[in-house]
């Protein structure tokens, strides 16, 4: 059994969001991460899992918080409005307080309340040390086995059908190299011709025809971002199961471990 290696990782939790989000508003909170799951804000479940994993030394949290969450947070960061801006602000907050040399950063969204300390520990222990960016993915059959009826977006590769995780791992020393290019890719995601130009028509054709391999996808993403990028296949469906709508909320409530519930925290 792998022993805990506390201090190898710091974490950024992305708990910001659109202040006009109708899902959050319907539940009486300013952002989705504060919606109660089992009587407690979903972000609190994520923070507890991080702290109990035995792998994370410090946590920067981006977005509004509640008092129950604050003891689990080292650096509180104001929501900057976009995913990548929040990511950058969270990493900068950790760096400003002193990131030890060689320490890597786990980035996790605050809307995966079913994630456990064991899930996070296994993902962190399995992360290839040579990669500047590691993106966990989950096989469709693992998602559907763990959470029957779950709705996810999947990509079909030669090795199987996968959904993306809601965590990723990065080397903060290289964030300046890949973040501008990542912004460009995300900006093009709704412009098919521009996205095809970035990714390459050959890669897109192989993806559509299910001939693209994980290794080929890793190589292309590495070339686009200019840093070594790797996919990490994990069997833990909770890492790829976020809460975006009421059906997801009901699923999360139904699958919380026994005893993980209580009175609603005032917001």
pLDDT tens per residue, range 38-88: 999 999 999 999 999 999 999 999 999 999 999 999 999 999 988 899 999
pLDDT of 185: 80
pLDDT at 114 over 90: yes
pLDDT band (50, 70, 90) for residue 189? low
Residue 206, CA atoms < 13 Å, CB-side half-sphere = 15
200 vs 91 pLDDT, higher one = 91
Q: Residue 25's domain is classified under what CATH number? A: 3.90.550.10
Domain count, the chain: 1
**Domain span at 139:** 9-255
In contact, 207 and 221? CB cutoff 8 Å:
no
pLDDT at 139 over 90: yes
pLDDT of 265: 36
Instruction: Using DSSP, state whether 253 is helix, strand or coil.
Output: helix
Report yes or no on 67 lying in a domain. Answer: yes
Report yes or no on 238 lying in a domain. Answer: yes
Report yes or no on 266 lying in a domain. Answer: no
Report yes or no on 38 lying in a domain. Answer: yes
pLDDT at 162 over 70: yes
163: which 2 tokens? 């959904």
User: In angstroms, rounded to a whole number, what is the distance separating the alpha carbons of residues 25 and 260?
Assistant: 24
Report yes or no on 261 lying in a domain. Answer: no
DSSP strand pairing (167-170 vs 160-164): unpaired
Report yes or no on 1 lying in a domain. Answer: no
Report yes or no on 265 lying in a domain. Answer: no
Rounded to the nearest angstrom, the gap between the alpha carbon of residue 17 and the centroid of all alpha carbons in its chain is 14
Report yes or no on 260 lying in a domain. Answer: no
pLDDT of 195: 67
In contact, 147 and 70? CB cutoff 8 Å:
no
pLDDT band (50, 70, 90) for residue 89? very high
74: which 2 tokens? 């080292």
219 vs 264 pLDDT, higher one = 219
Instruction: Give this prediction's pTM.
Output: 0.90
Task: Return the ∠ at Cα 206 (arms to 225 and 191), rounded to 5°.
Answer: 55
pLDDT at 261 over 80: no
């Amino acid at each position: 059994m792998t022993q805990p290696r506390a201090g190898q990782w710091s974490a950024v939790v992305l708990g910001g969001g659109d202040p006009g989000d109708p899902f959050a508003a319907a539940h009486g909170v300013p952002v989705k991460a504060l919606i109660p799951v089992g009587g407690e804000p979903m972000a609190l479940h994520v923070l507890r899992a991080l702290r109990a994993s035995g792998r994370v030394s410090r946590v920067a949290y981006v977005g509004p918080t509640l008092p129950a969450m604050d003891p689990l947070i080292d650096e509180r960061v104001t929501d900057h409005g976009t995913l990548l801006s929040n990511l950058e602000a969270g990493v900068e907050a950790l760096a400003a307080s002193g990131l030890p040399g060689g320490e890597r950063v786990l980035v996790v969204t605050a809307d995966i309340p079913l994630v456990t300390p064991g899930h996070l520990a296994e993902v962190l222990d399995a992360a290839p040390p040579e990669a500047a960016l590691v993106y966990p993915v989950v096989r469709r059959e693992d998602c559907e086995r763990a959470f029957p009826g779950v709705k996810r977006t999947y990509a079909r590769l030669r090795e199987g059908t996968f959904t993306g995780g809601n965590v990723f791992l990065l080397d903060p020393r290289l964030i300046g190299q890949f973040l501008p290019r990542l912004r460009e890719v995300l900006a093009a995601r709704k412009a098919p011709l521009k996205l095809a130009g970035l990714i390459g028509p050959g890669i897109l054709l192989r993806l559509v025809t299910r001939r693209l391999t994980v290794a080929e996808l890793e190589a292309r993403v590495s070339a686009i971002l200019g840093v070594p990028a790797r996919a990490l296949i994990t069997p833990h469906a909770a890492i790829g199961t976020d809460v975006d709508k009421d059906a997801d909320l009901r699923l999360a409530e139904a699958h919380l471990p026994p005893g993980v519930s209580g009175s609603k925290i005032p917001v």
